[in-house]
Amino acid sequence: MIPELTPLPMEEALDFWRDKTKLGPAEFRRLTAAAKVKAFAVTGIAKGAELDTVYNALFKAMEKGTTFEQFKAECGDIFTRRGWTGKRAWRVDSIFRTNIQTAYNVGRYTQLAEMTDTFPFWKYSAVNDSRTRPTHLAMNGKVFPANHPFWDQWYPPNGFRCRCSVIPLTASQVKKRGLKVESDVPEMIEPIDPVTGNTMPAMQLLPDPGFAHHPGKAYWAPTQTEGEIRPLVGKAISVKPPLSEIDPRHIKPYTADDLMPSGLAPEAYVTAFLREFGVDDLNGEKFITLPGESGQVLPVNKGLFVDRRDGSWKVEKTGRERYVKLLARTIQDPYEAWLVPAEVSGRIHTTINLIRLFGGEPGKIGGFVVWSLVGDRWMTATTFMAAPGSKEKKLLNYLERQRVGRLLYREEL
Protein backbone atom coordinates (compact mmCIF):
# COMPACT_ATOMS: atom_id res chain seq x y z
CA MET A 1 0.00 0.00 0.00
CA ILE A 2 1.41 3.37 -1.01
CA PRO A 3 1.06 5.91 1.82
CA GLU A 4 -0.77 9.13 1.05
CA LEU A 5 1.44 12.17 1.53
CA THR A 6 -0.30 15.31 2.74
CA PRO A 7 1.55 18.63 2.37
CA LEU A 8 1.90 20.43 5.69
CA PRO A 9 1.67 24.22 6.04
CA MET A 10 4.74 26.16 7.16
CA GLU A 11 3.92 27.04 10.76
CA GLU A 12 6.37 29.95 10.75
CA ALA A 13 4.50 31.50 7.81
CA LEU A 14 1.18 31.04 9.60
CA ASP A 15 2.57 32.68 12.75
CA PHE A 16 3.70 35.61 10.63
CA TRP A 17 0.24 35.99 9.10
CA ARG A 18 -1.57 35.69 12.44
CA ASP A 19 0.56 38.53 13.82
CA LYS A 20 -0.48 40.95 11.06
CA THR A 21 -2.32 44.11 12.07
CA LYS A 22 -5.19 44.99 9.72
CA LEU A 23 -5.12 48.66 8.71
CA GLY A 24 -6.96 50.97 6.38
CA PRO A 25 -5.11 52.17 3.26
CA ALA A 26 -4.38 55.64 4.66
CA GLU A 27 -2.90 54.22 7.88
CA PHE A 28 -0.86 51.72 5.89
CA ARG A 29 0.63 54.38 3.62
CA ARG A 30 2.04 56.23 6.64
CA LEU A 31 4.14 53.23 7.69
CA THR A 32 7.75 52.77 6.65
CA ALA A 33 8.43 50.04 4.09
CA ALA A 34 9.79 47.73 6.81
CA ALA A 35 6.86 48.41 9.16
CA LYS A 36 4.42 47.49 6.39
CA VAL A 37 5.67 43.91 6.68
CA LYS A 38 3.80 43.66 9.99
CA ALA A 39 0.55 45.11 8.67
CA PHE A 40 -2.11 44.06 6.18
CA ALA A 41 -4.04 46.46 3.98
CA VAL A 42 -5.52 46.48 0.50
CA THR A 43 -5.72 49.74 -1.45
CA GLY A 44 -9.38 50.48 -2.05
CA ILE A 45 -10.66 48.33 0.83
CA ALA A 46 -11.27 49.96 4.20
CA LYS A 47 -11.00 48.19 7.54
CA GLY A 48 -14.06 46.04 8.15
CA ALA A 49 -15.81 42.90 6.96
CA GLU A 50 -14.43 43.04 3.41
CA LEU A 51 -10.83 43.35 4.54
CA ASP A 52 -11.43 40.51 7.02
CA THR A 53 -12.71 38.33 4.18
CA VAL A 54 -9.60 38.89 2.05
CA TYR A 55 -7.30 38.39 5.05
CA ASN A 56 -9.01 35.12 6.01
CA ALA A 57 -9.02 33.84 2.43
CA LEU A 58 -5.26 34.39 2.22
CA PHE A 59 -4.76 32.61 5.52
CA LYS A 60 -6.77 29.66 4.20
CA ALA A 61 -4.53 29.52 1.14
CA MET A 62 -1.47 29.30 3.38
CA GLU A 63 -2.99 26.84 5.83
CA LYS A 64 -5.06 24.61 3.54
CA GLY A 65 -3.31 25.13 0.22
CA THR A 66 -6.34 26.59 -1.56
CA THR A 67 -5.58 27.76 -5.09
CA PHE A 68 -5.58 31.20 -6.64
CA GLU A 69 -8.85 30.37 -8.44
CA GLN A 70 -10.47 29.41 -5.12
CA PHE A 71 -9.21 32.63 -3.57
CA LYS A 72 -10.73 34.67 -6.43
CA ALA A 73 -14.05 32.87 -6.04
CA GLU A 74 -14.16 33.41 -2.29
CA CYS A 75 -13.51 37.16 -2.61
CA GLY A 76 -15.06 37.59 -6.07
CA ASP A 77 -17.87 39.96 -5.08
CA ILE A 78 -15.42 42.27 -3.31
CA PHE A 79 -13.11 42.44 -6.31
CA THR A 80 -15.94 42.81 -8.84
CA ARG A 81 -17.38 45.81 -6.98
CA ARG A 82 -14.05 47.53 -7.42
CA GLY A 83 -13.71 46.68 -11.08
CA TRP A 84 -10.70 44.42 -10.59
CA THR A 85 -11.63 42.23 -13.55
CA GLY A 86 -10.52 41.98 -17.17
CA LYS A 87 -7.45 44.15 -17.73
CA ARG A 88 -7.44 45.13 -14.06
CA ALA A 89 -7.44 41.55 -12.79
CA TRP A 90 -3.70 41.90 -12.19
CA ARG A 91 -4.63 43.62 -8.92
CA VAL A 92 -6.12 40.40 -7.58
CA ASP A 93 -3.14 38.36 -8.70
CA SER A 94 -0.78 40.83 -7.02
CA ILE A 95 -2.69 40.66 -3.72
CA PHE A 96 -2.52 36.87 -3.72
CA ARG A 97 1.02 36.29 -4.98
CA THR A 98 2.73 39.07 -3.05
CA ASN A 99 1.18 38.18 0.30
CA ILE A 100 1.70 34.44 -0.09
CA GLN A 101 5.33 34.87 -1.17
CA THR A 102 6.06 37.31 1.64
CA ALA A 103 4.63 34.93 4.25
CA TYR A 104 6.59 32.03 2.78
CA ASN A 105 9.89 33.90 2.66
CA VAL A 106 9.50 35.31 6.17
CA GLY A 107 8.67 31.83 7.45
CA ARG A 108 11.62 30.42 5.52
CA TYR A 109 13.91 33.03 7.08
CA THR A 110 12.94 31.94 10.60
CA GLN A 111 14.10 28.44 9.62
CA LEU A 112 17.26 29.49 7.78
CA ALA A 113 18.41 31.79 10.59
CA GLU A 114 18.47 28.80 12.95
CA MET A 115 20.67 26.75 10.61
CA THR A 116 23.51 29.11 9.71
CA ASP A 117 26.07 26.92 11.53
CA THR A 118 25.23 24.11 9.09
CA PHE A 119 24.33 26.27 6.09
CA PRO A 120 26.57 29.35 6.31
CA PHE A 121 25.92 30.39 2.69
CA TRP A 122 22.71 31.36 0.88
CA LYS A 123 22.12 31.40 -2.87
CA TYR A 124 19.71 33.80 -4.53
CA SER A 125 17.33 31.97 -6.84
CA ALA A 126 15.24 33.80 -9.43
CA VAL A 127 12.79 32.02 -11.73
CA ASN A 128 14.60 32.26 -15.06
CA ASP A 129 11.76 32.78 -17.54
CA SER A 130 10.23 35.56 -19.63
CA ARG A 131 8.48 37.03 -16.55
CA THR A 132 11.66 37.40 -14.48
CA ARG A 133 12.61 41.02 -13.95
CA PRO A 134 16.07 41.92 -15.30
CA THR A 135 17.41 43.14 -11.96
CA HIS A 136 16.19 40.00 -10.20
CA LEU A 137 17.69 37.85 -12.96
CA ALA A 138 21.04 39.60 -12.42
CA MET A 139 21.05 38.21 -8.86
CA ASN A 140 20.18 34.66 -9.89
CA GLY A 141 22.73 32.11 -8.68
CA LYS A 142 24.78 34.57 -6.63
CA VAL A 143 26.04 33.19 -3.33
CA PHE A 144 26.64 35.35 -0.25
CA PRO A 145 27.40 34.49 3.37
CA ALA A 146 24.16 34.20 5.34
CA ASN A 147 25.15 37.19 7.50
CA HIS A 148 26.21 39.41 4.58
CA PRO A 149 24.59 42.90 4.41
CA PHE A 150 23.47 41.97 0.88
CA TRP A 151 20.47 40.15 2.36
CA ASP A 152 19.33 43.22 4.30
CA GLN A 153 18.44 44.74 0.93
CA TRP A 154 17.89 41.72 -1.32
CA TYR A 155 16.16 39.08 0.78
CA PRO A 156 13.01 38.23 -1.24
CA PRO A 157 10.38 39.10 -2.20
CA ASN A 158 11.88 42.06 -4.01
CA GLY A 159 8.79 43.38 -5.76
CA PHE A 160 5.09 42.78 -6.26
CA ARG A 161 4.46 39.20 -7.45
CA CYS A 162 8.19 38.42 -7.04
CA ARG A 163 8.87 34.67 -7.17
CA CYS A 164 12.49 34.73 -6.00
CA SER A 165 13.70 32.59 -3.11
CA VAL A 166 16.80 31.66 -1.10
CA ILE A 167 18.60 28.31 -1.15
CA PRO A 168 20.83 27.39 1.85
CA LEU A 169 24.21 25.79 1.17
CA THR A 170 26.87 24.07 3.23
CA ALA A 171 30.54 24.96 2.77
CA SER A 172 31.15 21.59 1.11
CA GLN A 173 28.29 22.15 -1.35
CA VAL A 174 29.75 25.51 -2.35
CA LYS A 175 33.16 23.93 -2.92
CA LYS A 176 31.85 20.82 -4.72
CA ARG A 177 29.70 22.87 -7.11
CA GLY A 178 32.47 25.36 -7.83
CA LEU A 179 30.36 28.30 -6.69
CA LYS A 180 31.85 31.72 -6.05
CA VAL A 181 31.08 33.37 -2.74
CA GLU A 182 30.46 37.06 -3.46
CA SER A 183 31.68 39.89 -1.25
CA ASP A 184 30.54 42.97 -3.19
CA VAL A 185 27.33 43.86 -5.01
CA PRO A 186 27.68 45.80 -8.30
CA GLU A 187 25.88 49.13 -8.33
CA MET A 188 25.10 49.12 -12.07
CA ILE A 189 24.33 46.36 -14.56
CA GLU A 190 23.57 45.96 -18.25
CA PRO A 191 20.68 43.51 -17.89
CA ILE A 192 19.54 40.99 -20.46
CA ASP A 193 15.96 41.27 -21.69
CA PRO A 194 14.42 37.88 -20.73
CA VAL A 195 12.10 37.97 -23.77
CA THR A 196 14.47 39.05 -26.58
CA GLY A 197 17.84 38.10 -25.09
CA ASN A 198 19.19 41.54 -26.04
CA THR A 199 21.37 43.63 -23.75
CA MET A 200 19.40 46.48 -22.19
CA PRO A 201 20.69 49.96 -21.25
CA ALA A 202 22.65 50.13 -18.00
CA MET A 203 20.53 50.56 -14.88
CA GLN A 204 21.02 50.76 -11.13
CA LEU A 205 20.94 47.35 -9.48
CA LEU A 206 18.25 47.63 -6.81
CA PRO A 207 15.12 45.76 -5.74
CA ASP A 208 11.80 47.20 -6.91
CA PRO A 209 10.69 50.45 -5.18
CA GLY A 210 9.41 49.78 -1.67
CA PHE A 211 11.07 46.37 -1.40
CA ALA A 212 14.70 47.24 -0.55
CA HIS A 213 14.48 45.81 2.96
CA HIS A 214 14.63 42.42 4.71
CA PRO A 215 11.05 41.26 5.45
CA GLY A 216 12.22 38.51 7.81
CA LYS A 217 14.23 40.88 9.99
CA ALA A 218 11.45 43.49 9.80
CA TYR A 219 8.98 40.93 11.15
CA TRP A 220 11.18 39.91 14.05
CA ALA A 221 12.09 43.46 14.99
CA PRO A 222 10.01 45.01 17.79
CA THR A 223 7.32 47.49 16.78
CA GLN A 224 8.02 51.17 17.42
CA THR A 225 4.60 52.75 17.81
CA GLU A 226 5.50 56.40 17.37
CA GLY A 227 8.43 58.77 17.38
CA GLU A 228 11.88 58.29 15.91
CA ILE A 229 14.62 57.38 18.38
CA ARG A 230 18.07 56.31 17.16
CA PRO A 231 20.27 55.00 20.00
CA LEU A 232 23.84 56.30 19.84
CA VAL A 233 25.25 53.33 21.78
CA GLY A 234 25.11 49.69 20.76
CA LYS A 235 26.21 47.96 23.96
CA ALA A 236 25.70 48.04 27.70
CA ILE A 237 28.15 50.04 29.79
CA SER A 238 26.85 48.27 32.90
CA VAL A 239 27.08 44.55 33.64
CA LYS A 240 23.96 42.67 32.62
CA PRO A 241 23.08 39.02 33.17
CA PRO A 242 22.27 37.01 30.02
CA LEU A 243 18.52 36.86 29.52
CA SER A 244 18.72 33.08 29.21
CA GLU A 245 19.97 32.93 32.82
CA ILE A 246 17.48 35.32 34.41
CA ASP A 247 15.62 34.10 37.49
CA PRO A 248 12.13 33.07 36.32
CA ARG A 249 10.62 35.22 39.08
CA HIS A 250 11.54 38.28 37.00
CA ILE A 251 9.25 37.01 34.22
CA LYS A 252 5.76 38.26 34.99
CA PRO A 253 2.82 36.03 34.03
CA TYR A 254 -0.13 37.33 32.10
CA THR A 255 -3.42 35.81 30.98
CA ALA A 256 -5.98 36.46 28.28
CA ASP A 257 -7.81 38.71 30.75
CA ASP A 258 -4.81 41.03 30.77
CA LEU A 259 -5.22 41.71 27.05
CA MET A 260 -7.89 44.05 25.73
CA PRO A 261 -10.25 43.06 22.91
CA SER A 262 -9.96 44.76 19.55
CA GLY A 263 -12.57 47.14 18.20
CA LEU A 264 -13.25 49.27 21.29
CA ALA A 265 -13.32 53.05 21.35
CA PRO A 266 -9.93 54.71 22.05
CA GLU A 267 -11.29 56.08 25.33
CA ALA A 268 -11.91 52.53 26.58
CA TYR A 269 -8.27 51.57 26.16
CA VAL A 270 -6.97 54.76 27.79
CA THR A 271 -9.38 54.26 30.70
CA ALA A 272 -8.14 50.68 31.19
CA PHE A 273 -4.56 51.97 31.20
CA LEU A 274 -5.28 54.65 33.81
CA ARG A 275 -7.17 52.22 36.06
CA GLU A 276 -3.97 50.22 36.44
CA PHE A 277 -2.72 53.28 38.37
CA GLY A 278 -5.94 53.68 40.37
CA VAL A 279 -7.18 56.58 38.20
CA ASP A 280 -10.86 56.06 37.31
CA ASP A 281 -11.48 59.40 35.62
CA LEU A 282 -10.39 59.73 31.98
CA ASN A 283 -9.30 63.28 32.78
CA GLY A 284 -7.54 62.23 36.01
CA GLU A 285 -3.83 62.16 36.68
CA LYS A 286 -1.31 60.48 38.94
CA PHE A 287 2.34 61.30 39.53
CA ILE A 288 4.84 58.47 39.73
CA THR A 289 8.53 58.33 40.57
CA LEU A 290 10.72 56.25 38.31
CA PRO A 291 12.72 53.55 40.11
CA GLY A 292 16.47 53.75 40.39
CA GLU A 293 18.91 56.62 40.65
CA SER A 294 17.11 58.98 38.24
CA GLY A 295 14.25 59.51 40.70
CA GLN A 296 12.35 61.35 37.97
CA VAL A 297 8.73 62.26 38.72
CA LEU A 298 6.31 61.97 35.82
CA PRO A 299 2.59 62.58 35.34
CA VAL A 300 0.49 59.65 34.11
CA ASN A 301 -2.60 60.86 32.28
CA LYS A 302 -4.44 60.53 28.98
CA GLY A 303 -1.87 62.82 27.37
CA LEU A 304 0.38 59.77 26.93
CA PHE A 305 -1.98 58.65 24.19
CA VAL A 306 -2.77 61.98 22.54
CA ASP A 307 -0.93 63.26 19.47
CA ARG A 308 0.32 66.70 20.47
CA ARG A 309 0.18 67.94 16.89
CA ASP A 310 -3.56 67.58 16.32
CA GLY A 311 -5.05 66.23 19.57
CA SER A 312 -6.05 62.88 18.03
CA TRP A 313 -5.81 59.57 19.87
CA LYS A 314 -2.73 57.46 19.16
CA VAL A 315 -3.53 54.49 21.39
CA GLU A 316 -4.49 52.23 18.48
CA LYS A 317 -1.26 52.54 16.49
CA THR A 318 0.00 49.16 15.21
CA GLY A 319 -2.27 47.18 17.51
CA ARG A 320 -0.84 48.53 20.78
CA GLU A 321 -4.32 48.96 22.26
CA ARG A 322 -4.55 45.28 23.23
CA TYR A 323 -1.51 45.62 25.52
CA VAL A 324 -2.32 48.84 27.43
CA LYS A 325 -2.52 47.02 30.78
CA LEU A 326 0.92 45.51 30.21
CA LEU A 327 2.28 48.93 29.22
CA ALA A 328 1.01 50.36 32.50
CA ARG A 329 2.64 47.58 34.52
CA THR A 330 5.94 48.23 32.76
CA ILE A 331 5.92 51.79 34.12
CA GLN A 332 4.82 50.70 37.59
CA ASP A 333 7.11 47.73 38.04
CA PRO A 334 9.87 47.39 35.41
CA TYR A 335 12.55 44.75 35.42
CA GLU A 336 15.22 47.23 34.26
CA ALA A 337 15.67 50.92 33.48
CA TRP A 338 18.47 52.00 31.08
CA LEU A 339 19.88 55.46 30.35
CA VAL A 340 20.50 55.63 26.59
CA PRO A 341 21.96 58.58 24.62
CA ALA A 342 19.97 58.85 21.39
CA GLU A 343 19.24 61.07 18.43
CA VAL A 344 15.61 62.21 18.36
CA SER A 345 14.41 64.20 15.35
CA GLY A 346 17.94 65.39 14.62
CA ARG A 347 18.78 66.40 18.21
CA ILE A 348 20.73 64.53 20.90
CA HIS A 349 18.74 63.53 23.99
CA THR A 350 19.18 61.28 26.99
CA THR A 351 16.43 58.69 26.92
CA ILE A 352 15.27 56.23 29.57
CA ASN A 353 14.09 52.75 28.56
CA LEU A 354 11.90 50.85 31.01
CA ILE A 355 11.75 47.11 30.32
CA ARG A 356 9.38 44.48 31.70
CA LEU A 357 9.46 40.77 30.86
CA PHE A 358 6.36 38.66 30.33
CA GLY A 359 5.98 34.91 30.51
CA GLY A 360 5.27 32.50 27.68
CA GLU A 361 6.00 28.89 28.54
CA PRO A 362 6.79 28.28 32.24
CA GLY A 363 10.14 29.84 33.10
CA LYS A 364 10.67 31.30 29.61
CA ILE A 365 10.42 34.87 28.32
CA GLY A 366 7.47 35.06 25.94
CA GLY A 367 7.47 38.79 25.32
CA PHE A 368 8.52 42.18 26.55
CA VAL A 369 7.46 45.81 26.69
CA VAL A 370 9.76 48.83 26.51
CA TRP A 371 8.66 52.37 27.32
CA SER A 372 11.06 55.03 26.03
CA LEU A 373 11.14 58.39 27.80
CA VAL A 374 12.69 61.48 26.21
CA GLY A 375 12.99 64.44 28.52
CA ASP A 376 9.63 64.78 30.24
CA ARG A 377 7.50 62.84 27.79
CA TRP A 378 7.06 59.33 26.48
CA MET A 379 8.13 58.93 22.87
CA THR A 380 7.68 55.25 22.05
CA ALA A 381 6.20 52.07 23.41
CA THR A 382 7.67 48.87 22.01
CA THR A 383 5.76 45.60 22.39
CA PHE A 384 6.91 42.20 21.24
CA MET A 385 4.72 39.30 22.34
CA ALA A 386 5.86 36.13 20.60
CA ALA A 387 3.34 33.81 18.97
CA PRO A 388 3.06 30.28 20.44
CA GLY A 389 5.90 28.11 19.22
CA SER A 390 8.07 31.06 18.16
CA LYS A 391 11.82 30.74 18.56
CA GLU A 392 12.81 32.13 21.98
CA LYS A 393 16.38 32.72 20.75
CA LYS A 394 15.25 35.38 18.28
CA LEU A 395 13.10 37.13 20.86
CA LEU A 396 16.03 37.27 23.29
CA ASN A 397 18.35 38.61 20.59
CA TYR A 398 16.04 41.55 19.89
CA LEU A 399 15.43 42.18 23.57
CA GLU A 400 19.18 42.36 24.19
CA ARG A 401 19.36 45.26 21.74
CA GLN A 402 17.14 47.26 24.12
CA ARG A 403 19.52 46.66 27.05
CA VAL A 404 22.16 49.21 26.10
CA GLY A 405 23.65 52.28 27.74
CA ARG A 406 23.93 52.66 31.53
CA LEU A 407 21.80 50.67 33.94
CA LEU A 408 19.72 52.85 36.28
CA TYR A 409 17.69 50.13 37.95
CA ARG A 410 17.23 46.36 38.06
CA GLU A 411 14.49 44.60 40.00
CA GLU A 412 15.65 42.90 43.20
CA LEU A 413 13.95 39.74 44.43
Dihedrals phi, psi of 315, to nearest 5 degrees: -75, -25
Band of the pLDDT at 380, cuts 50, 70, 90? Answer: low
72/241: higher pLDDT: 72
Q: What is the DSSP letter of 6?
A: -
Cβ neighbours of residue 30 closer than 8 Å, sequence gap 6 or more: none
Q: Is the pLDDT of residue 78 over 90?
A: yes
CA–CA dist 291, 103 (Å, integer) = 41
Dihedrals phi, psi of 249, to nearest 5 degrees: -70, -15
Would you state the pLDDT for residue 8? 45
Q: Is the pLDDT of residue 318 over 50?
A: yes
Band of the pLDDT at 391, cuts 50, 70, 90? Answer: low
Q: Is the pLDDT of residue 229 over 90?
A: no
Among 34, 38, 32, smallest CA distance to 15 is for 38
Q: Is the pLDDT of residue 145 over 50?
A: yes
Q: Is the pLDDT of residue 1 over 60?
A: no
Q: Is the pLDDT of residue 215 over 60?
A: yes
CA–CA dist 59, 100 (Å, integer) = 9
- Residue 174: CB atoms within 10 A of its CB come to 16
Would you state the pLDDT for residue 379? 65
Would you state the pLDDT for residue 158? 94
**Bridge partners, residue 407, by sequence:** 338
Would you state the pLDDT for residue 196? 82
- pTM here is 0.58
CA–CA dist 215, 106 (Å, integer) = 6
Would you state the pLDDT for residue 91? 94
Mean pLDDT taken over the chain: 84
Band of the pLDDT at 271, cuts 50, 70, 90? Answer: very high
- Give the chain's count of helices (H) and strands (E): 13, 16
Q: Is the pLDDT of residue 178 over 90?
A: yes
Would you state the pLDDT for residue 329? 92
Least confidently predicted of 170-179, 226-235, 286-295, 357-366? 226-235
- Residue 20: CB atoms within 10 A of its CB come to 19
Q: Is the pLDDT of residue 5 over 50?
A: no
Would you state the pLDDT for residue 389? 54
Band of the pLDDT at 223, cuts 50, 70, 90? Answer: very low
Would you state the pLDDT for residue 345? 64
- Residue 345: CB atoms within 10 A of its CB come to 11
Would you state the pLDDT for residue 118? 93
Q: Is the pLDDT of residue 46 over 80?
A: yes
Would you state the pLDDT for residue 225? 43
